Amino acid sequence: MTHDPDKWIEQLMNCQHLPEADMKVLCDTVRCILMEESNIQPVSSPVTICGDIHGQFWDLLELLRKGGKVPETSYIFMARWCCFR
């Protein structure tokens, strides 16, 4: 079985579905590539994903109040690199 990423891209650009077997190969390939990235960390579920709070302490307290305190609740905080320069 041959895999043709260029054909997949063409199909997707034309709003066509990929066959399930191709989609599985694509997902496995992307997962392997992403796992090599230094900014990707494995996380156990369940986890609560939070947007960038821009260092706002009161927003953090509200998130913890509504979502649950650590370690009962696990969190991932999304942030932009520009906030840390």
- pLDDT band of residue 82 (cuts 50, 70, 90) is low
Q: For residues 48 and 63, what is the distance between their CA atoms, to the nearest angstrom? A: 10
Looking at residue 46, what is its pLDDT? 94
Q: What is the pLDDT of residues 30-78, one digit of tens each?
A: 989 888 888 777 888 999 999 888 878 899 999 999 999 998 999 988 8
pTM (2 decimals)? 0.51
Q: Which amino acid makes up residue 52?
A: D
Contact indicator for 67, 48 with CB cutoff of 8 Å: yes
How far is CA 41 from each of CA 5, 36, 61, 73, rounded to the nearest angstrom? 26, 10, 25, 18
